[in-house]
Amino acid sequence: MSISKFQSRRNFIKQTSIGLLAFASMPSWINAAEGMHGMPILPPRKASANFKPDVELELFCQNTEAPVLAGKTTRVQKYSAKLLHGPEQSVTEIPSSYLGPVIRLQKGQKVRIHLHNQLDEDTITHWHGLHVPAEVDGHPMYVIGQGQTFVYEFEVVNRACMAIYHPHPHEATAKQVYHGLAGAIIVNDEIEAALGLPSGEFEIPIVIQDRLFDLQNQLIYSPGMHGNMFGFYGNRILVNGHPELQLEVASRAYRLRFLNGSTARIYKLAWDDGTPITVLGVDGGLLEQPEQKPYVMLAPGERLDVWMDFSGRAVGSELVMRSLPFSGALPHMGMGMMGNNGYGLPMQSDYAIFSVKINKKVSDSPKLPTALSKISRYEISDTHNPNKPVPITISEGHMSMLLNGRPYAYKDIQANERIPVHTIQLMEISHEHGMGGMGNGGGMGMGRMGMGGMGMGGMMAMAHPIHLHGQQFQIVSRSIDSSREGDYATVNQGFINSGLKDTVLVMPGETVRIIKPFQDYKGLFMFHCHNLEHEDMGMMRDFLVE
Ligand code: C2O
Ligand code: CU
């Protein structure tokens, strides 16, 4: 066993030097894309006189400090907001957190947000999960500099859901999110309100992130080549900006709104006493009916709406939400060579996320509804291209993680990436032939060829949370290469495929088919890996909706 491990390592080094050579001789468009120049410099968008907002707020991005660990405060970048006009609950601070305030919107509201960049670097904000016009979607071409203000105006057309706001400047998204720039948006609508789900103090956001600190309690962000390839991982789990969070709850039902705000870490969430997770919804809002899951996979950018009833639990009793062990989301060999990725908290190991303590006995509690919502679904026959899915191809190589074989470049739209507006598209997310999927199920699997025969892509194969801007999509099918079934069995019961999604975790060897509408708005809409290190490395493309 130790011999084969040693052999794998030697092969890895051999492959690595081949990779470096290959990189040196790559075509010029790869090098040209590096700085991503060529984006237009646009004057920041201004308010339009004929837009009458129901909610208007100022959103500031600032360098500041926040209490995170015991002792010294931590230098962070933070969103803060000031409500100018609209219902008071539109903005709620999370106490003493570096996270931005929760922005609560109602379907149908017209919203105007003045984004003030008070950082000493460029930024722009994206409303992850909201379906808004391209010019207010936070495309990196709209970055603003220090001291500038960009005005967003849009109508909330989404159904009730949890969305995210976070920066999207080219090649700096991960760094800004890591330093604190992120917040939750909660959209409510009448259908949801009629369900009487737990609200107010009984509805709790759970934003999960991992961070690495130095001895002075300052954030360390130094992905380097290794972190860019495999993701950067902290050794502390923070929930809502705090380590070892303990929620105090009453013995009744709660609604927990999860958001994975980590740059790369994927969680396999489960209650430590074996209670199944009762799922109410995912990225795009409520499911049709609640689903019970032994555990739920939550990748960066994904959201999860959970019902948890603490009724009948004794006052003083505790419950822990953990991340359970799984495999296959990181390259087996890369991790072996690079050592203990995760800086003491390996991603696929078993660790606590937060705990809950029952501190009060109450006698009544809302009951779990049996039906939640109606999802208007499309059939493959409703799509514009039932026999020719739009490909989203993942390719993994040494020092490059690509989509459709190309790194991000502005206006580098390929034929496949042009989408006629007002169409419904069948799309297929898969791994480039012979890469990641390790043989594409056609008898070229690693079992026959052995380690020495693996291509670079197979070695680098890892899980990628693929996010598409614009409207939410349906997952129509998932299939796994037979060589990957073992790893897949450690995660697949944690996927929720029945809800509307904007981010889907694609495992090595997995092919996912989705149906996505492209209605209402023309323009550039990004799709990218929400492993933010990958995104910043160029694992991002644009669809031109025209
Ligand atoms: Cu949450 Cu384009 O990102
Ligand atoms: Cu990725």
- Given pLDDT bands bounded at 50, 70 and 90, which one contains residue 330? very high
Residue of higher predicted confidence among 432 and 24: 432
Q: Answer whether 452's CB lies under 8 Å from 459's CB.
A: no
Share of the chain above pLDDT 70, in %: 87
- Given pLDDT bands bounded at 50, 70 and 90, which one contains residue 342? low
Share of the chain above pLDDT 90, in %: 83
Please tell me whether residue 304 adopts helix, strand or coil conformation: strand
Q: Would you say the CB of residue 166 lies under 6 angstroms from ligand 1? A: yes
Q: Which residues of 334-351 are buried (b: 16+ CB within 10 A; e: fewer)?
A: bbebbeebbbebbbbeeb
Residue of higher predicted confidence among 201 and 4: 201
Residues 308-323: what's their mean pLDDT?
A: 98
Query: In DSSP terms, which residues pair with 103 in a beta bridge?
Result: 91, 185
Residue 439 has pLDDT above 70, yes or no: no
Ligand 1 geometric centre to CA of 12 (Å): 32
DSSP state for residue 422 in the 8-state scheme: T
Mean pLDDT, the chain, whole residue set: 89
Lowest mean pLDDT among 38-42, 97-101, 294-298: 38-42
CA distance 182 to 377: 31
- pLDDT for 114-159, tens place per residue? 999 999 999 999 999 999 999 999 999 999 999 999 999 999 999 9
Q: Which ligand is nearest to the CA of 229?
A: 2
pLDDT of residue 397: 84
Residues 456-472: what's their mean pLDDT?
A: 88
Residue 492 has pLDDT above 90, yes or no: yes
Q: How many CA atoms lie less than 13 Å away from 215 in the CB half-sphere?
A: 0
The kind and range of the H/E element at 204 are strand 203-211
CA distance 206 to 239: 6
Lowest mean pLDDT among 13-17, 50-54, 273-277: 13-17
pLDDT of residue 434: 52
Residue of higher predicted confidence among 35 and 515: 515
DSSP state for residue 520 in the 8-state scheme: S
Residues 388-397: what's their mean pLDDT?
A: 95
Q: Would you say the CB of residue 168 lies under 6 angstroms from ligand 1? A: yes
**Residue having the nearest C-alpha atom to atom 1 of ligand 1:** 128
CA distance 140 to 149: 15
Residues 231-236: what's their mean pLDDT?
A: 96
What is the token pair recorded at 135? Answer: 């010019």
**Residue having the nearest C-alpha atom to atom 3 of ligand 1:** 128
DSSP 78-125: EEEEEEEES-GGGEEPPTT-SSPPEEEEETT-EEEEEEEEESSS-B-E
Q: Which strands sit side by side in the sheet containing 474-480, from one edge to the other? A: 400-403, 390-397, 423-431, 510-518, 474-480
Ligand 1 geometric centre to CA of 483 (Å): 31
pLDDT of residue 88: 97
Q: Answer whether 250's CB lies under 8 Å from 358's CB.
A: yes
DSSP 33-92: TTTT------PPP---TT---SEEEEEEEEEEEE--SSSS-EEEEEEEEEEEES-GGGEE
Q: Model-level pTM greater than 0.75?
A: yes
Ligand 1 geometric centre to CA of 360 (Å): 39
Q: Would you say the CB of residue 268 lies under 6 angstroms from ligand 1? A: no
Q: Alpha-carbon dihedral of residues 383, 385, 388, 389, nearest 10 degrees?
A: -50
pLDDT of residue 398: 78
Residue 411 has pLDDT above 80, yes or no: yes
